[in-house]
Amino acid sequence: MRVLLVEDDQRIASDISQALEASGYVVETVGDGEDAWFRGDTEDYGAVILDLGLPLMDGLAVLKRWRANGRRMPVLVLTARGSWAERVDGIDTGADDYLPKPFRMEELVARLRSIIRRSAGHASSVMAVGEIALDERQMKVTLRGIPIALSLLEYRLVAHLLRSRGRVVSQQELNENVYGHDEEHDSNALEVLIGRVRKKLGTDVIETRRGFGYTIPEIST
Ligand code: CA
């Protein structure tokens, strides 16, 4: 899943980015409010982590504009410690949750997972389709109850298709959610990756819809 991280403190940004990538997310980082507003308005992200004190445009203004434009992605706001006014403003503006600084990375990742689940209407961090189950908290995929070893890229692919189950996901959307916007990869890398996942999970798990993309059907056949 693609996550937009808006944080102007480079050290914090790089710590968060590392923690999220280790949890299987594809992270794109921006350091000012105008850039953040533009990206969030024009690109599709599974979630956003938004610092409030930002150069050029403050985080609340960014969030207000996104919501006014109908952008519905879940947003976790980072606030200054003890600033209850910021928290109230953030929630009134359409933040899904907030986290006061400083925080533990474990808590940030857990809160992010939770707003993503809630926005998708899932109560649990385990998703299952047919014989495949994915536990997002443990980053574990099982087939008929047996754990399957996946690389980080394979995991991102399976996780995105499972979250989007029942829907055909375009090649572009998959590329963005597996490799991210900025990472270099060959044009046929995705097909190779899908081939490897099919070898591990079974050839009929991911269906190809020629000209449209790929899907994990809601009810496995
Ligand atoms: Ca800041």
CATH number at 110 reads 3.40.50.2300
The rounded Å distance from CA 217 to ligand 1 centre is 42
Q: Which residues surround ligand 1, an ion (CB under 5 A)?
A: 8, 51, 53
d(C-alpha 43, C-alpha 65), whole Å: 14
Q: Are residues 16 and 38 in the same domain?
A: yes
Q: Are residues 70 and 55 in the same domain?
A: yes
d(C-alpha 7, C-alpha 49), whole Å: 8
Encoded tokens for 10: 């480079």
Does 10 map to a domain?
yes
Handedness of CA 208, 214, 216, 218 (dihedral sign): negative
pLDDT of residue 81: 65
Q: Are residues 161 and 85 in the same domain?
A: no
Q: Is 147 helix (H, G, I), strand (E, B) or coil?
A: strand
The rounded Å distance from CA 111 to ligand 1 centre is 19
pLDDT in tens, 112-130: 999 998 887 776 778 888 8
The rounded Å distance from CA 91 to ligand 1 centre is 18
Share above pLDDT 90 across residues of the chain, in percent, rounded to a whole number? 70
Q: Are residues 39 and 107 in the same domain?
A: yes
Q: Does residue 49 carry a pLDDT above 90? A: yes
pTM of this structure = 0.80
Q: Does residue 185 carry a pLDDT above 90? A: no
**How much is the mean pLDDT over the chain?**
90
Q: Does residue 111 carry a pLDDT above 80? A: yes
Does 220 map to a domain?
no
pLDDT band for position 182 (cuts 50, 70, 90): low
The rounded Å distance from CA 112 to ligand 1 centre is 19
Q: Are residues 172 and 104 in the same domain?
A: no
Q: Does residue 220 carry a pLDDT above 50? A: no
Mean pLDDT of 190-198: 95
The rounded Å distance from CA 52 to ligand 1 centre is 6
What are the start-end ranges of the E strands in the chain?
A: 2-6, 26-30, 47-51, 75-79, 97-100, 126-129, 132-135, 140-143, 146-148, 207-209, 213-215
